[in-house]
């Protein structure tokens, strides 16, 4: 027996209200819309994961200027891709972007496939991103369910429960499928994302200007603050890390590449040490290999917050009194921090830009 899904609006009325609003108030001049291509749509969708449009626009423009086509991205070294991504965060996205570009060139003859399953075989592409590519690049009727769309549908339909739960997500997907129209799929897809990003925001939604307020269950029941249900909170721990800032007489710094997986994956960073005892052990070991000019100086700590923990970074400024020995390990090297092709984590780059680290302090 086929399940009948009851919704707050008929599919026709939902699409009509949304598209009428979009024609007057939607975003029509985003850089990935002109021209709109599978590559540009895909790139924008990956960049927009966990990142606001206002932040993405500048990165997108610089990225496509350097990598105008998927072939250019596939042919580039991943280090250079990370340089153009630095600051956007969630660096696994950039590594997956590069891997996916190579796969498009090798497995799909340089063309993004027009199939949901095939698109999802590319690294970093899930069901919603695949739907967005098919809808916006190929005008195919495919639903999407990113964070903005989840918020709109949960409020309009009055759905309680954290959208990250499989049962709730399944329910939202069914609603998204029912509401996605046959016509104007490109505009509809952009419109529902725009509505969630502008009027139907997490806090202080502009319900009176929303095209759905007359039938929105959250609005009618005064539950916009409760819906969608928030993820159960966990206490975010705070950890401390020493940044070992070792500089030689030529102004170069000892840098190591982070592992591909994990925080700041693939980026260059100062070596780290976790605890006081570990710091002293590291310094003792370094004294056996390097001629340290004096002891060390602790710079002002600074804090950075990841999605699941806080980290307090404590720079340890160390100077060499003699030329450093050559480095034999892969992923560890001496380098000048001014070079343009150096992919650094955003908080490290910001700390360097603050001027805390200077030649006068270390030399």
d(C-alpha 70, C-alpha 112), whole Å: 9
Q: Would you tell me how many other CB atoms lie within 10 Å of the CB of residue 302?
A: 17
d(C-alpha 363, C-alpha 361), whole Å: 6
CA-to-CA dists, residue 216 to 11, 200, 207, 224, angstroms: 14, 11, 9, 9
**Cβ atoms 148, 200 nearer than 8 A:** yes
45 as an active site residue: the answer is yes
**Cβ atoms 50, 147 nearer than 8 A:** no
- Of 45, 142, 157, 272, which residue is the catalytic one? 45
d(C-alpha 309, C-alpha 316), whole Å: 22
Placement of tokens 């609603």 in the chain: 175
Enter the tokens of residue 354: 């603050």
Alpha-helix residue ranges (DSSP H) falling in 67-126: 70-75, 78-85, 92-107, 116-120
Which residues are annotated as catalytic? 45
């Amino acid at each position: 027996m086929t399940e009948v899904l009851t919704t707050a609006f008929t599919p026709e009325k939902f699409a009509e209200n949304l598209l009428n609003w979009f024609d007057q108030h939607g975003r029509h001049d985003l850089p990935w819309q002109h021209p709109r291509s599978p590559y540009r749509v895909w790139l924008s969708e990956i960049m927009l994961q966990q990142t606001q449009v206002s932040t993405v626009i500048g990165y997108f423009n610089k990225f496509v200027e350097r990598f105008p086509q998927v072939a250019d991205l596939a042919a580039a070294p991943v280090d250079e891709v990370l340089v153009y991504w630095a600051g956007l965060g969630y660096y696994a996205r950039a590594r997956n972007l590069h891997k996916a570009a190579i796969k498009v060139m090798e497995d799909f003859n340089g063309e993004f496939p027009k199939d949901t399953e095939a698109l999802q075989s590319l690294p970093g592409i899930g069901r919603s991103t695949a739907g967005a590519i098919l809808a916006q690049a190929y005008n195919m009727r495919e639903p999407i369910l990113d964070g903005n769309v989840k918020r709109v549908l949960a409020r309009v339909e009055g759905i309680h429960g954290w959208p990250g739960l499989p049962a709730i997500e399944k329910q939202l997907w069914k609603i998204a499928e029912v509401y996605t129209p046959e016509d104007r799929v490109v505009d509809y897809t952009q419109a529902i994302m725009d509505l969630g990003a502008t009027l139907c925001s997490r806090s202080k939604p502009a319900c009176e200007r929303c095209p759905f307020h007359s039938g929105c269950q959250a609005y009618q029941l005064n539950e916009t603050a409760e819906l969608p249900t928030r993820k159960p909170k966990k206490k975010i721990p705070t950890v401390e890390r020493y940044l070992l800032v070792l500089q030689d007489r030529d102004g170069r710094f000892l840098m190591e590449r982070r592992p591909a997986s994990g925080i700041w994956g693939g980026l260059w960073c100062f070596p780290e040490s976790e605890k006081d005892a570990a710091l002293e052990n590291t310094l003792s070991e370094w004294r056996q290999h390097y001629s340290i000019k004096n002891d060390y100086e602790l710079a002002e700590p600074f804090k950075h917050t990841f999605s699941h923990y806080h980290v307090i970074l404590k720079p340890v400024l160390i100077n060499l009194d003699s030329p450093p020995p050559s480095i034999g390990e892969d992923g560890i090297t001496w380098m000048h921090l001014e070079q343009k092709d150096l992919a650094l984590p955003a908080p490290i780059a910001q700390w360097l830009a603050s001027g805390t680290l200077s030649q006068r302090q270390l030399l």
